[in-house]
Amino acid sequence: MATCSRIPFAFLVALLLLLSSSSTASAEEEAVLTLDAGNFSEVVAAHQFIVVEFYAPWCGHCKQLAPEYEKAASILSKHDPPVVLAKVDASDEKNKDLSGKYDVQGFPTIKILRSQGDNAQEYNGPRDADGIVEYLKKQVGPASVEIRSVEDATDLIGDKGVVVVGVFPAFGGSEYDNFMAVAEEMRNDYDFLHTLDGSILPRGDKAVKGPAVRLFKPFDELYADSQVFDKDTLEKFIEVSGFPTVVTFDTNPTNHKYLLKYFENDGTKAMLFLSFDDDRIEAFKSQFHEAAKQYGEKNISFLIGDVTDAQGAFQYFGLKESEVPLLFIQASTAKYIKPTVEPDQILPWLKEYSDGTLLPHVKSDPIPVVNDQPVNVVVADNLNDVVFNSGKNVLLEFYAPWCGHCQKLAPILDEVAVSLQNDEDVIIAKMDATTNDIPPDFAVEGYPTMYFYSSAGNLLSYEGGRTAEEIINFIKKNKGSKPGEGAVGDDAAETDAMEEQELALESVKDEL
């Protein structure tokens, strides 16, 4: 059934970063190969390394990417060895199987295919031409690069990103092999180096002989060491040590990949939004970092954001700019807000959350003063009263004002409501899911989504057709009975039971 999809916030952030990238490139002679189901396998099989964009011609974000992708393809075609960029129209029916094979969930999706297509990886790099070029140059080379001098280490480690360095007494053995395997698997997200001489590294113990791993980072304690080479443990070390204790939400491109990972994480999120020009910024940062150290191990991740750069987050979460400095917690089933927070209030407030004494915040439109339309308007603040506590049979639609499918459904629900208006035990209602928090009782993955809550206390997802007749029949079939009445079919069942009892008594009498 057609629905309008809800957009995850991580996708909105990615979109924001894409739209903020430069798009001044002029189209040159097409350097991007055009693939389809007919030539895809042949072309991919001819390349050890090829990059494929799955796009749709009508997709605005694909159009935004196109000149950058083309410019990058032109530059990379002159690289030694050349790097091939290609594209597939994933909206074309003949390419449907390709989209399924590479798990294309949205547009544009970019895949890096290695070893004649046997190894497919998600492209997680920049969306501007220069960024694409630099990212893919690293990808096409070895997963880890050997460094032999202080100059090598200084040039390649730098201070702008996470770099993982393996130090070994010799380039061989299980530790070295595991390091190289992890480097291959994680090369999309991190730079890897290896060396025989730990003394050339810019930070940390110069006497390290290895085997050891030293992770360099431009945040927190600047480096971290490990001597465990089990693959799973090494990957976990890199993921944890290579992620900031507190993520920064601003326009600095260096922070973008951490920002995306932050919002992709399903755990509880603590966010502090304020103006980075605030005179108390250092006090806020100090207290917030201390909170992250104390509560980060409780599956809470921390972010500090400049209110000027975080407008998308404010809109998505329903926050008010007038309430900054604002401390906000997004848990799996609830939200918590501390407006106009002071630096010395951060730790006590997080302790209240940890202790379970905070009251959740609910984003809600105002409760309507009058509900005189056929379909009642429900908001988060009165949903329990209207749906769960009214004792009525309630059909509730979750909709988005911009959703075309919802707009088509609106007059049909009006017709349903008018048809059932004489049944005082039935309520037809709707809630704007973009301006009201959705309770955890309801799974809303797209719009419109409809649920029916009967007066008997049964919550059902409506999966039927979208005609007035089908909806009305569903309500009549599933609604609860009035007090003192049995549900449909109960009278017949009771009569059958009484007849069975009478027959049983007659049988006993006959035996006596």
Instruction: Estimate the crossing angle of helix 404-419 against helix 468-478, to 10 degrees.
Output: 60
**Active-site choice (98, 387, 403, 413):** 403
Q: Is 4 a catalytic residue?
A: no
Please tell me what DSSP assigns to residue 361. Answer: B
Please give the C-alpha separations between residue 64 and each of 25, 57, 87, 107, 109, in angstroms, as whole numbers. Answer: 10, 11, 14, 11, 13
Spatial distance between the Cα atoms of 262 and 10, rounded to a whole number of angstroms: 8
Contact, 43 vs 50, CB < 8 A? yes
**Active-site choice (17, 224, 303, 406):** 406
> Tell me, what amino acid is at 70?
E
Q: Is 62 a catalytic residue?
A: yes
Q: What tokens were used for 65?
A: 């990417």
Query: In 308-388, which ranges are E strands?
Result: 326-330, 335-338, 376-377
Contact, 274 vs 281, CB < 8 A? yes
Q: Is 192 helix (H, G, I), strand (E, B) or coil?
A: strand
- The residues pairing with 193 across neighbouring beta strands, listed in sequence order, are 145, 165
Q: Is 403 a catalytic residue?
A: yes
**Measured CA angle at 374 (ends 368, 379), to 5 deg:** 30
What is the C-alpha R_g of the chain? 30
**Active-site choice (16, 25, 43, 59):** 59
Catalytic residues: 59, 62, 403, 406
